[in-house]
Amino acid sequence: MKKFIRAALLAGLALASLSLAMRPALADDGASSRLDQVLKSGKLRVCMTGDYKPFTYYRPDQSFEGMDVELAQSLAKSLGVEAQFVKTTWSNLMNDFIAQCDIAMGGVSITLERAKKAGFSTPTMVDGKAPVVRCADKEKFRNFEMIDQPGTRAIVNPGGTNERFARTRYKHATLTLHPDNVTIFQQIVDGKADVMVTDASETMWQAKLHHELCPVNPEQPLQFAEKAYMLPRGDVAFKAYVDTWLHLAKATGEYQQVFDKWLK
DSSP string, 241-260: HHHHHHHHHHHHTHHHHHHH
**CB 65 within 8 Å of CB 87:** no
Kindly report the backbone phi and psi dihedral angles of residue 162, in degrees, each rounded to the nearest multiple of 5, phi listed first.
-65, -45
2-20 residue pLDDT tens? 343 334 433 443 334 434 4
Number of H helices and E strands in the chain, helices first, is 11, 15
Give the pLDDT of the chain (264 residues) as one tens digit per residue. Answer: 434 333 443 344 333 443 444 343 344 444 589 999 999 999 999 999 999 989 999 999 999 999 999 999 999 999 999 999 999 999 999 999 999 999 999 999 999 999 999 999 999 999 999 999 999 999 999 999 999 999 999 999 998 899 999 999 999 999 999 998 889 999 999 999 999 999 999 999 899 899 999 999 999 999 888 999 999 999 999 999 999 999 999 999 999 999 999 887
| Orientation angle between helical segments 67-79 and 236-252, nearest 10 degrees | 110
Tell me what percent of the residues of the chain surpass a pLDDT of 90.
Answer: 81
